[in-house]
Structures are given as C-alpha cells and as structure tokens.
Amino acid sequence: MLEIKNLHVKLQEEDKVILRGVDLKIGAGEVHAIMGPNGSGKSTLSYVLSGRDGYEVTDGSATLDGQELLEMEPEARAAAGLFLAFQYPVEIPGVGNMTFLRTAVNAQRKARGEEEMSAGDFLKVVRAKAKTLKIDADMLKRPVNVGFSGGEKKRNEILQMAMLEPKMCILDETDSGLDVDAMKLVSEGVNALRDAGRSFLVITHYQRLLDHIKPDVVHIMAAGRIIRTGGPELALEVEQNGYADILAEVV
C-alpha cells in the first residue's frame, strides 16, 4: 500500500534536516503504529506525505500503490486515497463544516471519475456517521473546527475520514485531547473502517490507544529515522521503560 524509501527531508527556508532516511512499508489491510520522542519527525513525515509546503525532499521516495506521491498536488494525493488526521486540525472561519465535507467528498469523486453524491444522500450518510461519533447537528453547521474543543476537533477529523473512505489513513496523535469515552468512540470509528483494502498509520505517544486500535507493527522513530520495528509488545516496552533503552541501543 504505502512504501517509503530512504526519505530525507529538510526545511525549505532553513538548513534544518528533519527526516534522515525513513524506510517504511505498510501492506494492504495492515495497521502500523509510530511512536517516538517529541520532535523526532513524526508529524513532519505525515505532512510531507500529504503534500504540505515548506519542506524539501532531498532524497528518497514515497509511493501509494506504486504511484509516486511526492510529485503530486495535495488534492491529487487525497483523491488517490491518502488521508491525514491532523495533530492540530485547522480552523476555517466562514466555511461551514457541512459545505466543506460535501465539497471534499464530491471533489474526490469527481477526480476519480465517479458520480457526485446528491445533497440528500450526503445528508443522510453524514448524519448517521456523525451520530456514531457523537457529533451533533450544531457542530456540522458551524464553521470548520472554529470554536470546537480539542476533542471535538479530533472527532471531526475522524468524521471526515469516515466520509472520504480513504485507503491509506494516517492518524497523527488523534488520541491526544480525547477523554476516555471519546477515545473509545474514535477507536470504534477507526476499527469500523478496518478492512483488507485499507491501511492505517497511527502516530501516538500512548499504548492506551493501541489497546483499542490493535497494531500489526510498531515502529520507533527518533531523530528523523525509524530506529526499531517490532510487534505490539514494543509499544508496551515503551510504555513501561520510556525511550532511553531503545535510544541507547542505537547509539
């Protein structure tokens, strides 16, 4: 599904290198988790994959089902099936949540040569999905993320994901800011989307999320590299001992 090879990234404006040769391969239907200390480059990786400006790829590649991602516009990556649930979802004053969602769904359908969703159908689907995430009608009407609480923003990201039905979902610290119940809701939302054709890359600091969304593979990122890869037990090890041992091993 997603294959990242030797990815090197620096900031465009500065001589600051952030990713120093990331290798990662996620098969169809798999769930991978990335953990790692603050500032190790996890969000940067997700931004570079989704096409944010400000970064320069100096080496390496990233492909989605064989398609080279890094050359594509962000909207084309989305249409190809990539989705990033943001660590810090963006507020868009003046643009209604519903309008935004429908524009996005129909733009992707159009890009893929599919028929657009009628207003009626869209409303039905979005209401049902919002309900399972406990997003009320008022939140759907309000401007995108404006005045949403931290947890509401995260749930809104998952609603977007559920509506867009991407095949490669990257979740960047979706658990941060969520209360215990909301974490369950969100995890259920994610698990409901799991199937053989869809893969997940879950970035998190906490094992707790991985109790709900069970990963197949866990990676540890430090200083812009994946320094260790293992099974779910690796997350438990981090939870218990922190990163010190793992980091020491590498050095």
Partner 1 sequence: MALAAAKQDALAARLGGLARHTGGWLGAAQADALARLTAMGLPTKRDEYWRYSDPSSLTAAVATPAAVFDAGDESPVFDVIDRLKIVFVDGVFDAALSDDLALAGVEIERLADAAGADIHWAQGLYGVLETRGQSPVQRPLAALNTAFATDGVLIRVTGKAAKPVGITYIHRDPTSDVMLHHCIKLEAGAELTLTENGPAAARFTKVLEVEIADGARFHHIRAQGRDHERRAATHIFARLGAEALFKSFTLTANGRLTRNECVIELVGDDSKAHVAGAAMGDGDFHHDDTVFITHQGQRCESRQVFKKVLKNGAVGVFQGKILVKQGAQKTDGYQISQSLLLDGDSQFLAKPELEIYADDVKCSHGSTSGAIDETALYYMRSRGVPLKAAQSLLVLAFLAEAIAEIEDEAIADDIRDRLEGWLARHEH
Ligand X SMILES: Nc1ncnc2c1ncn2[C@@H]1O[C@H](COP(=O)(O)OP(=O)(O)OP(=O)(O)O)[C@@H](O)[C@H]1O
Q: Which is nearer to ligand X, 42 or 155 (CB)?
A: 42
Site residues (vs partner 1, CB under 8 A): 50-53, 73-75, 77-79, 83-84, 86, 89-95, 99-100, 103-105, 107-108, 111, 143, 160, 164
Determine, following the binding rule CB under 5 A, whether residue 174 of this chain makes contact with Mg ion: no
Determine, following the binding rule CB under 5 A, whether residue 187 of this chain makes contact with Mg ion: no
Enter the DSSP assignment of 13.
S
Interface with Mg ion (CB under 5 A), residue from 40, 43, 108, 145: 43
Pairing between strand 143-144 and 168-172? Answer: unpaired
Site string for ligand X, 200-219 (x = CB under 6 A): --------------------
What phi-psi label fits residue 23: left (phi over 0), alpha (psi between -120 and 50 degrees) or beta? Answer: beta
d(CA 164, CA 151): 20
d(CA 133, CA 186): 7
For the chain, what is the largest distance between any 2 Cα atoms, rounded to a whole number of angstroms?
58
CA angle 26-175-180, nearest 5°? 135
Compute the half-sphere exposure of residue 2: CA atoms within 13 Å on the CB side of its CA: 30
Determine, following the binding rule CB under 6 A, whether residue 150 of this chain makes contact with ligand X: no
Interface with ligand X (CB under 6 A), residue from 9, 24, 26, 44: 44
Residue 215 touches which member of ligand X, Mg ion, partner 1, none, C-beta under 5-8 Å by kind: none
Nearest to 43 by CA among 109, 89, 101: 89
Residue 44 touches which member of ligand X, partner 1, Mg ion, none, C-beta under 5-8 Å by kind: ligand X
Q: Output the smallest distance, CB 13 to ligand X, in A.
A: 8
Binding interface with ligand X (CB under 6 A): 11, 16, 18, 36, 38-44, 54, 87
